């Protein structure tokens, strides 16, 4: 498969901090993958995703999206990526349709196509009847579904997901995971960050475990499990590689 | 362009769904302008138009006491109190009435002041005429050489309510002093007439030789005489416009806290466009706010006993000032919203900062009576630039050229605050 994202010796140290959030991290992600970024708290997952989304600038190192360098082509890259943040990144007093129309318009989508896609998307996630209701009246699961739709309306080549199923009911989770599989089958590369190791084991085609700003191990889920003696799940591998100490950062 | 339009439309929807925010934007400034103008107008009337009761205790019962009573009784806006419940008032009672807050001023004419004054004036006139006679009239020469007699100074006590301000006390005191010196001059004049045995009064005191003509200096012939309403309306319009800092700051902080900011920053749209949507919407809000307050001043003020505010032909320039002042307020709101991390930071800081700017800008107290240091500081308040532009237009019939300087400052303030916000956001978010 063609390489879609390449990261070369990426380092990031935040202003005023003496600690590197990312340290000489190199990574290659092929198009069509469902790539899982796993790691303990403070490992550098969010910093890596934020850098790949063009939100923060690296201290050193290089990033490419296809053949486009992030330093010169940030806007062009942002047109081709979708982001689904962990927060319900929606305006609570606006309706589902109004939220989706606004965020879709920022990608320059024509109004007619956008309206059609919004209607189709809401139907796909079972929210047609709630299209005109304000987001603040939605349950957590309903908000997560709209949150996902807002990130995929412009049909991105790469979709970044940060904990897309956290705090979600079983039925909503089913719908979200099914939609993500569907998108992946249509060619969207998915980069996914989560603490749900069981979900990641079954959902991802490839996984990288990050700790202290560097990649500890990378491979297909099954390969990783087989690489650690006595491990039967990804969780066993994770504990084996990162230890069982609590990782609290303030 | 479409991105700007949808961003502005989104802001309109957010405002329409937030009744509390709308109340802050429209209802509160309207209440403020009516309340403050009513209060300031009644204060103005209390000093300038309503009747001031003055207690007069005449222990002299002579010419001076009668002249003072006559002058006070004839003075406009003065109610002369010489007795209470049919009982005459003495010095002690007058002091109690004032210290108890029942009256603000009492005047006590001491006993014997008329005789004393008569004696003094007669003696002095005799002396002057005697000295005059030394050169030609020998019969009164000896009178002119009589020794200088000493008199004790008689004091007229004025009791003031402790709550009366210094300005008020000075005003009343100077009026009474003027009245007493008029009485003295009249007395001297009468003695001269008498001593010189003139059969007819030449009427030298009948006409004032010097008089004052009060003119309000303004350009053109159709200038408006300034009044409390014309001072208050522009001042509180600006205050209302600048209060937009509070909801705008909250709007930006909410965006950060909700996570929508992440979505916006990862979209292929510049931060300037996102801010542009806010600037367009909030500028329209400022102009609606301005129109609303102008309508209140024109149509509601006369209904509640205030003077109607009519901008007349100066309306287009007033709209221009409101527009530019609105931009300055929006720039400040964006900067505060960008710097603040929480609503608890942005809302109180925004509100207090606007109040400070208003105080410095001359909304409550005219800048010319501030201490010199504060006058210098005041020159840096955008509200001061806005007020001076409004006053140039309303009170001095100023033209667009006359207000170019304060408008330039306001525009510069907008540009600087906006660039600072964009720069900080870029620095803070990407590093």
How close, in Å, is residue A227 to chain B by CA atoms? 37
In the structure, what pLDDT confidence band is assigned to residue B214 with cuts at 50, 70 and 90?
A: low
Residue A249: inside a domain:
no
- Contacts by B366-373 with C-beta closer than 8 Å and gap 24+? none
What is the spatial order of strands in the sheet that A3-12 belongs to?
A22-30, A3-12, A60-65, A68-69
- Check if the beta carbon of residue B402 is closer than 8 Å to that of residue B319: no
The CATH number covering residue A46 comes to: 3.40.50.300
- H-run or E-run covering A60: strand A60-65
Q: Which of A51-55, A168-172, A181-185 has the highest mean pLDDT?
A: A181-185
Burial label, B298 (beta-carbon count in 10 A; 0-12, 13-18, 19+): middle
Q: How far apart are CA A163 and CA B282, in angstroms?
A: 36
Q: What is the share, in percent, of chain A residues with pLDDT greater than 90?
A: 46
Task: Inform me whether the C-beta atom of residue B134 falls under 8 Å from chain A C-beta atoms.
Answer: no
Nearest to B329 by CA among B423, B235, B417: B417
Of B260, B269, B429, the CB nearest to A91: B260
Binary contact (B266, A78; C-beta < 8 A): yes
In the structure, what pLDDT confidence band is assigned to residue B209 with cuts at 50, 70 and 90?
A: low
What tokens appear for A171 in the block? Answer: 């039925």
Residues 263..282 of B with a Cβ closer than 8 Å to A: which? 263-269
Residue A137: inside a domain:
yes
Residues of B in contact with A51 (CB under 8 A): none
Output the pLDDT for position B39. Answer: 77
Count of C-beta atoms within a 10 Å radius of residue B194: 11
Question: Which residues constitute the domain of residue A79?
Answer: 3-242
pLDDT at B197 over 80: no
- Check if the beta carbon of residue B65 is closer than 8 Å to that of residue B115: no
**What is the sign, positive or negative, of the torsion defined by CA atoms of B121, B124, B130, B133?**
negative
Tell how strand B105-109 and strand A22-30 pair up: unpaired
Residue A247: inside a domain:
no
Residue A110: inside a domain:
yes
Output the pLDDT for position B6. Answer: 92
Binary contact (B3, A105; C-beta < 8 A): yes
In the structure, what pLDDT confidence band is assigned to residue B115 with cuts at 50, 70 and 90?
A: confident
Output the pLDDT for position B213. Answer: 64
Residue A234: inside a domain:
yes
Chain centre to alpha carbon of residue B319: 24
How close, in Å, is residue B412 to chain A by CA atoms? 30
In the structure, what pLDDT confidence band is assigned to residue A140 with cuts at 50, 70 and 90?
A: confident
Residue A204: inside a domain:
yes
Q: How far apart are CA B247 and CA B336, in angstroms?
A: 11
pLDDT at A79 over 70: yes
- Check if the beta carbon of residue A36 is closer than 8 Å to that of residue A200: yes
Output the pLDDT for position B326. Answer: 96
Output the pLDDT for position B227. Answer: 63
Residues of B in contact with A106 (CB under 8 A): 3, 6-7, 264, 267-269
- Check if the beta carbon of residue A210 is closer than 8 Å to that of residue A7: no
Q: How far apart are CA B104 and CA B160, in angstroms?
A: 6
Count of C-beta atoms within a 10 Å radius of residue B124: 15
Overall pTM surpassing 0.90 (yes/no) = no
Nearest CA in chain A to B8: A102
SS3 A13: coil
Output the pLDDT for position B219. Answer: 57
Mean model confidence pLDDT for chain B: 82
CB-based contacts of B122: which residues, under 8 Å, 6+ apart? Answer: B191, B195
pLDDT at B136 over 50: no
How close, in Å, is residue A245 to chain B by CA atoms? 30
**Per-residue pLDDT reduced to its tens digit, B22-65:** 877 888 888 888 888 787 766 555 555 567 788 999 988 888 88
SS3 B193: helix
How close, in Å, is residue B251 to chain A by CA atoms? 11
Count of C-beta atoms within a 10 Å radius of residue B193: 15
CB-based contacts of A123: which residues, under 8 Å, 6+ apart? Answer: none
Q: How far apart are CA A48 and CA A10, in angstroms?
A: 9
Residue A167: inside a domain:
yes
Binary contact (B10, A78; C-beta < 8 A): no
pLDDT at A59 over 60: yes
Output the pLDDT for position B139. Answer: 46
pLDDT at A242 over 60: yes
Number of domains within chain A: 1
**Per-residue pLDDT reduced to its tens digit, B288-300:** 999 999 999 889 8
Q: Which of A214-228, B206-220, B361-375 has the highest mean pLDDT?
A: A214-228
For chain B, domains (ranges, CATH) are: 2-44+222-430 (no CATH), 54-195 (3.40.1710)
Residue A186: inside a domain:
yes
């Amino acid at each position: 498969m063609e390489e879609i994202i390449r990261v070369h010796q990426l380092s990031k140290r935040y202003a005023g901090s003496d600690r590197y959030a990312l340290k000489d991290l190199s990574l290659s992600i092929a198009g069509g993958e469902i790539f899982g970024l796993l790691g303990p708290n403070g490992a550098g997952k969010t910093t890596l995703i934020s850098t790949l989304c063009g939100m923060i600038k690296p201290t050193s190192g290089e990033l490419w999206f296809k053949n486009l360098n992030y330093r010169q082509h940030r806007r062009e890259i942002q047109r081709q990526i979708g982001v689904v943040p962990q927060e319900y990144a929606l305006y609570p007093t606006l309706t589902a349709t109004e939220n989706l129309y606004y965020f879709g318009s920022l990608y320059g989508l024509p109004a007619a196509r956008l309206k059609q896609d919004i209607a189709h998307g809401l139907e796909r996630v079972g929210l047609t009847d709630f299209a005109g209701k304000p987001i603040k009246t939605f349950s957590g699961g309903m908000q997560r579904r709209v949150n996902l739709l807002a990130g995929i309306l412009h049909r991105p080549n790469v979709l970044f997901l940060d904990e897309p199923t956290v705090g979600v009911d079983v039925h909503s989770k089913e719908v979200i995971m099914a939609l993500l599989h569907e998108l992946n089958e249509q060619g969207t590369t998915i980069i996914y960050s989560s603490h749900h190791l069981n979900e990641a084991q079954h959902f991802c085609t490839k996984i990288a475990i990050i700790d202290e700003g560097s990649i500890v191990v990378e491979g297909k889920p099954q390969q990783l499990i087989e690489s650690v003696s006595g491990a039967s799940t990804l969780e066993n591998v994770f504990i084996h590689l990162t230890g069982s100490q609590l990782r609290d950062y303030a | 362009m479409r991105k700007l339009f949808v961003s502005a439309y989104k802001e309109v929807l957010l405002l329409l769904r937030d009744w509390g925010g709308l109340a802050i934007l429209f209802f509160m400034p309207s209440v403020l302008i009516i309340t403050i103008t009513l209060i300031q107008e009644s204060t103005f009337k209390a000093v300038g138009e309503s009747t001031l009761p003055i207690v007069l205790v005449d222990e002299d019962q002579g010419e001076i006491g009668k002249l003072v009573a006559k002058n006070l009784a004839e003075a406009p806006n003065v109610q002369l109190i010489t007795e209470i419940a049919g009982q005459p008032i003495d010095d002690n009672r007058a002091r109690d009435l004032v210290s108890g807050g029942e009256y603000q001023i009492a005047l006590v004419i001491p006993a014997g002041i008329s005789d004393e004054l008569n004696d003094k004036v007669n003696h002095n006139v005799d002396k002057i005429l005697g000295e005059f006679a030394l050169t030609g009239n020998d019969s009164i020469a000896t009178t002119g050489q009589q020794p200088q007699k000493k008199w004790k100074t008689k004091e007229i006590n004025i009791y003031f309510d402790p709550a009366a301000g210094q300005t008020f006390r000075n005003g009343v005191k100077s009026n009474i002093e003027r009245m007493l010196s008029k009485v003295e001059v009249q007395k001297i004049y009468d003695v001269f007439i008498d001593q010189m045995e003139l059969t007819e009064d030449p009427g030298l005191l009948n006409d004032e030789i010097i008089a004052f003509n009060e003119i309000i200096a303004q350009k053109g012939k159709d200038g408006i005489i300034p009044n409390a309403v014309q001072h208050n309306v522009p001042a509180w319009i600006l205050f209302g416009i600048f209060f937009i800092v509070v909801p705008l700051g909250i709007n930006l902080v909410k965006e950060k806290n909700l996570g929508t900011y992440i979505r916006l920053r990862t979209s292929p749209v510049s931060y300037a466009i996102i801010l542009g949507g806010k600037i367009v919407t909030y500028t329209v809000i400022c102009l609606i706010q301005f129109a609303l307050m102008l309508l209140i001043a024109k149509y509601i003020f006369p209904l509640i006993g205030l003077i109607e505010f009519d901008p007349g032909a100066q309306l287009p320039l007033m709209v221009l000032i409101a527009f530019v002042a609105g931009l300055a307020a929006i720039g400040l709101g964006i900067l505060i919203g960008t710097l603040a991390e929480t609503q608890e930071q942005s809302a109180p800081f925004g509100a207090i900062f606007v109040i400070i700017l208003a105080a410095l800008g001359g909304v409550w107290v005219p800048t010319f009576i501030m201490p010199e240091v504060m006058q210098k500081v005041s020159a840096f308040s955008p509200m001061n630039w806005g007020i001076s532009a409004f006053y140039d237009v309303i009170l001095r019939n100023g033209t667009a050229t006359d207000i170019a300087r304060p408008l330039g400052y306001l525009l510069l303030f907008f540009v600087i605050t906006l660039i600072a916000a964009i720069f900080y956001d870029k620095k803070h978010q990407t590093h």
